[in-house]
Structures are given as C-alpha cells and as structure tokens.
Chain A
C-alpha cells in the first residue's frame, strides 16, 4: 500500500511539472495578447500595421502619432534577407561537405567546433560587427566611391548571417546525413559521380528538411536583437537599400521600454503590439517548418 501512495504522489508531482510549464506559456501568451489589445484600443491596428512613419509620440491632448510600423518591418526584412543570403548558401555547402565529403575524423573535429560557435553570446557578434566589420565595409565602399552609413543593414545582416551559420549548417547536415545510404548507392550504381548524386538526388530528397532548417534559422534571425542594436542602429528609415541605417522590430521594443516604468501610455504599450506581431510571425514560421518535416516523413519515412 505504501508504494502505491508513493507512486501516486510521484505521478502527481510530474503532472504538475508538465502542467506548470504549459500554464506559464499560456500565461505569457495571454498577457502579451492582453497588453497588445490595450495598445490596439489606443492606436488603430490599420495605422499600426500599414503606417509608413515610425516616430511614436503622444500629444498632450492624448492624440497619438507616428505609430506606423512598416519601416520596422522592412528594416527587419532587409537585415534578415542579407543574413539569409549569407547563411543559406554557406550553410548548405558546409553541410554538404561535412555530410558527403569529410572523412569521419574531420567531421569529429568540425561538428563540435560549429556547436561551440553556436554558443557564443550574440553580444560578441555585435562587437565584431561594430568594431571590425563596419570599418572594413566603409573602406570597401570608399574604394568604390559609394556612401555607406556607419551603421548599415548590410553590416548587421552579414554578421547575423555568420551568427546563424553554425545552427543552420548543423540542421542541414542532419537533414543530409539522415538520408538512407540506399539513395546514394542507387545513384552511384548508375554511374553518377558524388557531385551528381548530391545535386540531383540528395539535395532534392532532403529539400523539405533543408527548408525546415532555413525557416527555423529565419525565425532565429528575426528575433535577434543585440547585433542589430550595435550594428544597424535605431533610425527607422523606410528603405530597401542595405547600405543605409535601418532598425528592426526587436530593437524598437527594447528602445520603447528602456527607462519607462509605467505601462499605461501608447508608447510603451506599442512594445507589446510589436511583440505580438513578432510572436505571430515566428510561430507561423516554426509551424511551417514542423509541418514540412512531418509531410516529408509521411512520404519517405
């Protein structure tokens, strides 16, 4: 009888643990939604989502102006685009090398190295962007007689690309390595070379999983703050030129909240509005990625 008691208590305990984490998550989302709703009662969602000027300001009369988030979205998109332009090709190529060409001893050295790189605080990448890459980019731009902002989307995007590279290449390597040997043998048995096998069979076969890797990396890039604060700046320019300064959703959230204690004006509440948009976006990307993997498993698993 005593054992039954213990069993029950243990079970209850673990049940509570599981419930606890789910409850906390739900609580976080609920509070986010609550605050976001408070924000949208003061600033119309239309103005917020489609407005072209970001200079949040509340007039003494209580009127609000400058809550158009489009420049933040384009800034985020621009930096993310640059980051993905670096990370997708490099990540895929690193993965192909590690999975298909590297001998097992090389792989044993490289994989932990990549994982270490993934553990570096993003602040360090931010320093690198601001103190090393920015001057180099300025030199290059100067050589070609073009002007580049000291804090530019290009700078932030490049470093962000480098930051997600380890994560991306590790995911892509898994995607390739998991493919059955029989696919490789089938192709080689028909007289294909390794490179033909990779390009024509392995990459297409791994495509859904590679896609998932891209999407997961993308949502990581979108959520990144520190690098952008240090390398791209705070100026909410509406531009598609990567040589200019832009700002992102995450940076503006930090910016809106620093120094404020009260969450009762439109300006601080705007942070929740932005956070909500960001949450929906990354949630959507993650679901898309998971769905991709599931579909793949259904077809080839």
Chain B
C-alpha cells in the first residue's frame, strides 16, 4: 500500500498561537481518510495544510514536512498554483461562482489550459458532471446560473469543478454539513465511487459518515493527532481514552 501523502512533524501557527502540534500521518493512495474531532481542534487547519490553502491567511506559518508522492510541498521550489491542481478542495459551504453551471466546471480547465478545442472542453465538463452524479439533473440547463441549483446540487457541482482539473487528491471540509439527508447520501455515494481514482481526505462531524465512507480515520484533539488507524478498528477498539470518550459521545 503506497502512501499518497505523508505528513511528518507538522506544526501550524496563526501568528504566535499554535494550532497544530507535531502531527504525523500518512494517507494511503485510493483510500478515504476521515478527520474527526471536537470543534476547534484543528481539522480544517490540518486539511488546509495539505494544499497550502493556509498561505492565503496572512500570518499563518507552517513547519514540518508534507510529502506528496515523496516531494515536499513546502519546498521553496514548489509552485503553489501547480500543487493545487494536484490537490483539489471542496469546502464546507457550497461556493459555486456566480456564473453558469458550465462555466463553473470549465473554470479550472480554462485557467490551466487543459483542453485543445471547444469540443474537448465540452467533453471535460460532461465527464466531470457525470462523475459527480449531476449530469442527468443539469444537462438541459448547463448555461443557467449555478446559484439557482439546490444546496446539494451546488455541492456536487463544486465536486465536479474540483475533479475537472483531474487532481490526484481531493480534500473535503465537512462537505455535507449544509445538506439534507438525501443530498448527503448522494454525496457519500459519490465519495465512495471517486475513491477508485482519487485519494480523498474528508473532515466530518458525523461519526456515522466517517464510518461509512472512510477506510482510515484520524482523531484530533486540541491541535494534537491523538490516534489514527483503520476505521473499523478505531471505532470498535479505540486505543486512547479521549478517542473513546469522543466516539461514545461523552464530549464533543
């Protein structure tokens, strides 16, 4: 089993406040890893270290190593823009651009010139929407504003938008927290299918969801990685008292 991403001794600071402490964790290729833990424990912060989204925050500072295919993404020679085409991201709140459905999906391919002709681009858009399970619902209104879709459709559109640039890893930060149970089920099903081609990291507050979609689970607590392991094992026989407390609902 190869590790797609390997994080070694990662520390994250916002100004002089430390948010992550010495986190080391490997992400197996073509598996889904769930990050769980109480609110404010640093799950989102950790996720954003994996595609250097924290670079956007003015005073955020990272030390340690994040290896993507054995190359350190924090090395000075790395092109952040390029990196983000390999490591895509889906956010907590659906955030389609206020443009048409088609343009939303075509956005990534356009900025990275991933197509040769208009037909080529049409193909990419269709393929991405099919993979995101949205094609049937939107194929007749590709040129309508994306903001008119329902929340669940918008979130799947954001997933389509992310896979249109053909990444290797997809990061998802609570992708279902704004969705109803039916839309959630659809997205979960999608995550399971996407695993064939992508390595997925998902932050979730829903423990059943973590159990359903992931093969590996990591439990965070106040900036520390407490415990990580095979999902079934972590939920049935947690090694740490804090993990046990969290998954049995004693706090969180």
Chain A residues with CB under 8 Å of chain B are 103-104, 180, 182-193, 196, 200-201, 204-205, 299-300
CB of A247, distance to nearest CB on chain B (Å): 43
Cβ contacts under 8 Å, B89 to chain A: 185, 189
Chain B residues with CB under 8 Å of chain A are 51, 53, 56, 58, 81-85, 88-89, 91, 93, 95-99, 107-108, 110-112, 145, 147, 158, 161-162, 165
Cβ contacts under 8 Å, A191 to chain B: 81-85, 108, 111-112, 165
A187 touches B112 (CB 8 A): no
Given contacts A184-B56, A185-B53, A299-B147, contact A190 B107 (CB under 8 A): yes
B88 touches A190 (CB 8 A): yes
**A137 vs B36: C-alpha distance in the bound complex, in angstroms?**
67
Cβ contacts under 8 Å, A299 to chain B: 98, 145, 147
A185 touches B91 (CB 8 A): yes
CB of A107, distance to nearest CB on chain B (Å): 12
CB of B161, distance to nearest CB on chain A (Å): 7
CB of A195, distance to nearest CB on chain B (Å): 11
A192 touches B81 (CB 8 A): yes
Q: Total A-B residue pairs with C-beta atoms closer than 8 Å? A: 70
Chain A to chain B contacts (Cβ below 8 Å), 9 pairs: A104-B58, A182-B95, A186-B158, A189-B84, A190-B84, A191-B85, A193-B81, A196-B111, A204-B99
Cβ contacts under 8 Å, A196 to chain B: 111
A205 touches B95 (CB 8 A): no
**A224 vs B110: C-alpha distance in the bound complex, in angstroms?**
44
One of A180, A189, A204 near B88 (C-beta < 8 A): A189
B107 touches A187 (CB 8 A): yes
Cβ contacts under 8 Å, A200 to chain B: 107, 110-111
**A180 vs B53: C-alpha distance in the bound complex, in angstroms?**
16
B56 touches A188 (CB 8 A): yes
One of B93, B98, B145, B165 near A190 (C-beta < 8 A): B165
B82 touches A190 (CB 8 A): no
CB of B157, distance to nearest CB on chain A (Å): 11
B84 touches A188 (CB 8 A): yes
B111 touches A185 (CB 8 A): no
Given contacts A103-B58, A192-B81, A196-B111, contact A187 B97 (CB under 8 A): yes
CB of B6, distance to nearest CB on chain A (Å): 21
Cβ contacts under 8 Å, A300 to chain B: 98, 147
**A183 vs B147: C-alpha distance in the bound complex, in angstroms?**
12
A182 touches B98 (CB 8 A): no
B97 touches A201 (CB 8 A): yes
By beta carbon, the residue of chain B nearest A202 is B97
Cβ contacts under 8 Å, A180 to chain B: 95
Given contacts A192-B81, A193-B81, A200-B107, contact A186 B165 (CB under 8 A): no
**A200 vs B147: C-alpha distance in the bound complex, in angstroms?**
16
Cβ contacts under 8 Å, A103 to chain B: 58
CB of A194, distance to nearest CB on chain B (Å): 9
Cβ contacts under 8 Å, B158 to chain A: 186
